[in-house]
C-alpha cells in the first residue's frame, strides 16, 4: 500500500477524470478477492460477502485538485498543475488496506463489507453521480456508512465527534443590473458598482445580526466583478458568494436573507431589472449519528488507546459523502486521521503557529507523513467496520 500510495501521488487525476485511478483500484480489489462493480464513469465498488450479518459501507474519495505541487517530495506529482493536495490518495490506500485485512481475516467476522471509491468529491458531483448511475442496484442496502479524512493534525491520532462534523456548503452567483453611462455622467446611470458595494456591506450583517450569537455561519463574498475601465459605468455587477452552516434551518434562512437584501438594495438603487440568483457547488451537511460515532469511537479507543483518540471540533469545510448514506436512509460517521509528524505539530501548537507552519489540505505544500498515517488509516477503517461485523 505504501508503494501504491506513492504511485497514486505521482499520477493524480482531476475530479470526474479519475480513469487510471479507478482502473488501478479495480485491479487491487480483484487481487484482494472482492466482487468489483464499476459505477458510472469513474466510481468503483468492491464487495466482500462473508455470511449473515450487518452490511457496512466504507467510502474513500479518489480525486485530485488543480494545484501545482511544491512539496519537493521524491514522489511528487508528475502531472503539471494537478496534485493530490487533499490526501484522497491516502484515503484510497487506507480503504484498500482495510478491505485486504478483512478479506484475509474472514474467520473473524460475518456480514458484508462494501468498499466504495467515489470520484469528484472536490466538485460535489461524485456521490450524486454514483447514485444516479445506479449504485443502489449493484450493492445491498447497507446498515451503516463510514468515512475518514486525513487532516493537518498530529500523526497517529484520530478525531471523532457526534453531530455536525463538516458544514453544509453552498456557492451562489448573484447578478445585479444597473444602467451604464459615461463615467463623467453618473446622473445618467444606475451604478451597479455602488449597488454591489452596498450589498457586500449589508451581507455582513447576516452573521453578525441575524444568526444567534454562537451559532456557526459563514457568508463570504469571494468575488465581485463589474466594469473594466475607469471612465465607463458598467450596466451590471456579479457577486460570487460562499455559505457554510451546520444547521439546515439556518441555512435556508440565510439563503432567504441574502435574496431579501439583494432585492432590497436593488430596489433602493432603482435597478431596472430583477436580480438573478444561481446556486452551484452545493455540499450537504455531514452530521454524524451519535450512536454510530459512540460505537466507532469506542472501537478506536480499544485499538489505539485513549491518548490517541480525541473529540474534534467540527470543521468548516464540506464534503459530499453524506449523500450516499442519506440516499439509503442509513446512519453514518466520519472521522479525521492526523498526518503531521508529532514533533513538528506539537512545536507549532506550543508556539501558536499551526495555521502558519502546518500546510493544510489544498495547499501546494500539503504532504501527509506516510508513516504512520497509512497504518493508522488502515486500522481505523478495519476496526470501525469490525465494530459492526466482528463475530
Query: How many residues bind to Zn ion according to rule CB under 5 A?
Result: 1
Placement of cell 472482492 in the chain: 34
Distance CA 372, CA 94 (A): 11
Residue nearest to Zn ion (CB): 86
Residue 388 beta carbon to Zn ion: minimum distance, rounded to whole angstroms: 25
Instruction: Report cis status (omega within 30 of 0) of the bond before 52.
Output: no
How many CA atoms does the CB half-sphere of 197 hold within 13 Å?
4
Would residue 63 show up in a list of annotated catalytic residues for this protein?
A: yes
Active-site hit among 18, 61, 63, 235: 63
Out of 121, 247, 287, 320, which one is annotated catalytic? Answer: 121
Site for Zn ion in 26-55 (CB under 5 A): none
Using the minimum distance from each CB to Zn ion, give the nearer residue, 109 or 283.
283
Helices (H), the chain: 2-10, 19-32, 88-104, 126-132, 135-138, 192-205, 248-269, 290-304, 323-328, 342-351, 354-357, 370-389
Which range touches Zn ion (CB under 5 A), out of 7-15, 40-48, 80-88, 176-184?
Answer: 80-88
Q: Can you name the residues that pair with 236 across neighbouring β-strands?
A: 177
Rounded alpha-carbon distances, angstroms, from residue 130 to 13, 322, 373, 380? 18, 13, 28, 25
Instruction: Find the part of the chain contacting Zn ion (CB under 5 A) among 17-25, 78-86, 111-119, 184-192.
Output: 78-86
Task: Name the one range near Zn ion by CB under 5 A: 33-41, 79-87, 160-168, 202-210.
Answer: 79-87
Q: Which residues are CB-neighbours of 329 under 8 A, at least 6 positions away?
A: none
C-alpha cell at 258: 441574502
Please confirm, yes or no, whether 121 is among the known catalytic residues: yes
Nearer to Zn ion, 86 or 92 (CB): 86
Pairing of strands 55-61, 144-154: parallel
Nearest approach, Cβ of residue 323 and Zn ion (Å): 15
User: Looking at beta carbons only, is 29 or 86 nearer to Zn ion?
Assistant: 86
Nearest-approach distance from CB 317 to Zn ion, in angstroms: 7
> Rounded to the nearest whole angstrom, what is the least distance from the CB of residue 150 to Zn ion in the complex?
8
Q: Judged by CB under 5 A, which of 86, 165, 195, 309 binds Zn ion?
A: 86
Decide if 126 contacts 283 (C-beta within 8 A).
Answer: no
* CB 119, min distance to Zn ion, A: 12
According to DSSP, the residues that pair with 64 across neighbouring strands are 14
In the complex with Zn ion, the residue whose CB is nearer, 365 or 391, is 365
Please, which residue, 86 or 165, has the CB nearer to Zn ion? 86
Q: Which CB sits closer to Zn ion, 327 or 360?
A: 360
CB of 244 to Zn ion, least distance (A): 14
Give the strand pairing for 168-177 and 217-225.
unpaired
Residues at the site binding Zn ion, with contacts judged by CB under 5 A = 86
Residues with a catalytic annotation lie at 63, 121
Amino acid at each position: 500500500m505504501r508503494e501504491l500510495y506513492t504511485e497514486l501521488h505521482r499520477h493524480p487525476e482531476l475530479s470526474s477524470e479519475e480513469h487510471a485511478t479507478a482502473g488501478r483500484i479495480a485491479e487491487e480489489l480483484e487481487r484482494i478477492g472482492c466482487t468489483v462493480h464499476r459505477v458510472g464513469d469513474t466510481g468503483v465498488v468492491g464487495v466482500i460477502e462473508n455470511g449473515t450479518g450487518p452490511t457496512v459501507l466504507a467510502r474513500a474519495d479518489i480525486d485530485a485538485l488543480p494545484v501545482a505541487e511544491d512539496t519537493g517530495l521524491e514522489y511528487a506529482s508528475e502531472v503539471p498543475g494537478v496534485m493530490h493536495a487533499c490526501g484522497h490518495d491516502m484515503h484510497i490506500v487506507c480503504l484498500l488496506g482495510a478491505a485486504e485485512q478483512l478479506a484475509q481475516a474472514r474467520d473473524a467476522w460475518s456480514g458484508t463489507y462494501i468498499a466504495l471509491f467515489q470520484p469528484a468529491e472536490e466538485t460535489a458531483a461524485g456521490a450524486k453521480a454514483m447514485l444516479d448511475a445506479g449504485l443502489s442496484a449493484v450493492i445491498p442496502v447497507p446498515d451503516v456508512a463510514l468515512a475518514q479524512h486525513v487532516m493537518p493534525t498530529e500523526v497517529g491520532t484520530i478525531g471523532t465527534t457526534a453531530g455536525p462534523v463538516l458544514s453544509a456548503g453552498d456557492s451562489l452567483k448573484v447578478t445585479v443590473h444597473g444602467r451604464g453611462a459615461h463615467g463623467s455622467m453618473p446622473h445618467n446611470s444606475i451604478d451597479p458598482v455602488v449597488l454591489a458595494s452596498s450589498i457586500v456591506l449589508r451581507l455582513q450583517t447576516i452573521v453578525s445580526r441575524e444568526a444567534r450569537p454562537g451559532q456557526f455561519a459563514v457568508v463570504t463574498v469571494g468575488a465581485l466583478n463589474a466594469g473594466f475601465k475607469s471612465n465607463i459605468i458598467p450596466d451590471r455587477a456579479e457577486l460570487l458568494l460562499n455559505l457554510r452552516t451546520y444547521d439546515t434551518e439556518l441555512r435556508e434562512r440565510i439563503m432567504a436573507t441574502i435574496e431579501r437584501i439583494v432585492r432590497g438594495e436593488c430596489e433602493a438603487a432603482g435597478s431596472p431589472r430583477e436580480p438573478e440568483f444561481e446556486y452551484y457547488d452545493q455540499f450537504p451537511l455531514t452530521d454524524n449519528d451519535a450512536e454510530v460515532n459512540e460505537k466507532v469511537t469506542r472501537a478506536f479507543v480499544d485499538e489505539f488507546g485513549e491518548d490517541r483518540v480525541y473529540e474534534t471540533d467540527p470543521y468548516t469545510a464540506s464534503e459530499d459523502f453524506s449523500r450516499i448514506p442519506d440516499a439509503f436512509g442509513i446512519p453514518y460517521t466520519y472521522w479525521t486521521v492526523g498526518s503531521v509528524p508529532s514533533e513538528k505539530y506539537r512545536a507549532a501548537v506550543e508556539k501558536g503557529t499551526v495555521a502558519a507552519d502546518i500546510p493544510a489540505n489544498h495547499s501546494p505544500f500539503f504532504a501527509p507523513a506516510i508513516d504512520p498515517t497509512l497504518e493508522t488509516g488502515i486500522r481505523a477503517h478495519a476496526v470501525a467496520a469490525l465494530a459492526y461485523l466482528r463475530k
